[in-house]
Structure 1
Amino acid sequence: MKTKANTETNTDTGLTIRRSGERGHVDHGWLDSRFTFSFADYYDPAHMGFRSLRVINDDRVAPGGGFPTHPHRDMEIFSYILEGSLAHQDSMGNARTLTPGQIQLMSAGSGVTHSEFNPSASETAHLLQIWILPRQRGLTPRYTEWTPTPEQEAASKVLVVSPDGRDSSATIAQDADIYRLKLQPGETVTHALSPGRGLWLHLIRGEAELNGAGIFPGDAASSERAADYTVTAGSEPVEALLFDLGA
């Protein structure tokens, strides 16, 4: 996998690139994880979050491994399944096994407990775990999912999480629109960032250009400049999450 070493900011475009190799890393045997922002014992004062976005953990969970029942509160937590499967149970009565392409979103609100396990005896589970601050504290806990239709699975840009659940997206208690991008080689998609909002792009697979800047798997790009942002896939298929965030 290609990568570059250092965070780069382009004053002409307003883009800041955080390279994959800069992320925190932990390997517990059952869990191999890379942290975009400060998390657990990884502390980086320059990367504590972006607007309401607080966690992007790139997790690989070994067969049979997982997170036993533990509590959360006042956080919007969602997982995007990339490979394998993830078995979820929570104190709201939800028990689900999620597969690649699905998103589960749990609004922890006033308090919830849950567990997440890889139910496979042979296959590693690969997922992104993402935490976003809610618009207010003490909300009623809630669980929602997003499963792509065949049309959405093939779409180059599709809304997967939003504050109002529009277009069949999962619902989040924050001013955050989150899109999944899937591009074929050479394909292009554009996102218009409105004034007062912030953009964060996390590249999952493939190599791409964002407004001319080269990005590679695990890289992230951010900007708070209102403009059109164009993602162009390189010679391989590209997958990414694009966050359009309010204050």
Structure 2
Amino acid sequence: MSTKIVPRRSDERGHADHSWLKTFHTFSFAMYQSSAHEQFGSLRVINEDRVEPYTGFGTHGHREFEIFSYVVSGELEHQDSMGNLEILKRGDLQMTSAGTGIRHSEKAHGTKPVHFLQIWSLPSTRNLTPQYFTRHFTDAEKKDVLVRIVAPSGAEGVAEQREANGPAPVHSPLTLYASLLSPSKSVSHALAQSKGYIHVVQTSGYNPGKATGAKVNIISSDGTTLELSEGDGAYVTASAGTELQVNNVGDKVAEVLLFDLE
């Protein structure tokens, strides 16, 4: 199978400015609906959210989704019906396996806005018992390498404890890597499955227009290439074993998320 890399441009994502919330939707979500961007394999939601201080998402319910939050800046207060209350900061990742049903709230904590990515995947098994996990990954750990931050439950090196080292467990055929890629540096990854999704986090500031900021170039082992900037993403379809190289071709650090999934 030849590699196919399809861009998902930042300014073409679903977008809403609610004053207290500025959000981008990679996939259909809330009022934004797109038949071309419903899901990709088990990946169902990537929302890049900025929430103003003293505001947030009030208590609401979820079922049958694996829900994880990746904090970029600021502090996120998470509270749920399982009794968890936690303040998440930069580098923190929170995973909620909603299963048969949970209720939770997510709010900006403190005097500064919080910028985070909310990501949902579809579980391989329904009616799971709800679970909650948190992990922390420093900027130093992610510098110029791909760090595995989410991986399937039961995979090697994946602990099932609420707090532990290594990736958070997910009940989906999905592995998520993160990197802080310096200018002129590169990282590479051989896909274990037939799909990949790459997202460049919009770290240099809220921008609903054409993508700017950090720039990376994606090159597959068969020579397929694509350039992305902050907020941009890319769908990758390829044979398992295809190598993807991500090169920082700009003058700013690029925060990159890479999904390997079915």
Normalising by structure 2, we get a TM-score of 0.85
Q: Which residue of 2 aligns with 1:7?
A: none
- Give 1:178's aligned residue: 176
Q: 1:223 aligns with which of 236, 242, 251?
A: 236
Corresponding residue of 2:217: 209
Secondary structure of the equivalent of 1:185? coil
Structure of greater relative contact order (alpha carbons < 8 Å, 6+ residues apart)? 2
Shift of 1:149: 5.2
Q: Distance in 2 between matches of 1:90 and 1:153?
A: 29
Q: Specify the alignment match of 2:189 in structure 1.
A: 191
Aligned pair in 2 of structure 1 residues 151, 124: CA closer, same or farther (>3 Å)? closer
- Match of 1:110, SS state, is coil
Q: Answer yes or no: is 1:200 the counterpart of 2:189.
A: no
Alignment-mate amino acid for residue 93 of structure 1: G
Equivalents in 1 of 2:11, 2:140: separation in Å?
Answer: 34
Unaligned 5+ segments in structure 1 are 1-10
The 5 A counterparts of 1:52-201 are: 52-121=42-111, 123-148=112-137, 152-154=141-143, 156-163=145-152, 164=154, 166=157, 168-194=166-192, 196-201=193-198
Does the residue aligned with 1:100 lie in a helix, a strand or coil? Answer: coil
- For residues 228 and 170 of structure 1, what CA distance do their matches in structure 2 show? 24
Question: RMSD in angstroms over aligned alpha carbons?
Answer: 1.6
Letter in 2 for 1:208: V
Q: Secondary structure at the match of 1:69?
A: strand
Please report how far the alpha carbon of residue 75 of structure 1 lies from its aligned counterpart in structure 2 after TM superposition: 0.2
Q: Which runs of no fewer than 5 residues in structure 2 stay unpaired?
A: 159-165, 204-213, 220-224
Aligned mate of 2:254, from 209, 218, 238: 238
2:142 and 2:190 map into 1 onto residues whose CA distance is 22
Matches of 1:34 and 1:102, distance apart in 2: 20
Ranges of 4+ aligned residues in structure 1 off by more than 6 Å: none
Identity across aligned pairs (percent)? 41
- How many residues of Structure 1 are paired with residues of Structure 2 in the alignment? 234
Calculate the TM-score normalised by the size of structure 1.
Answer: 0.90
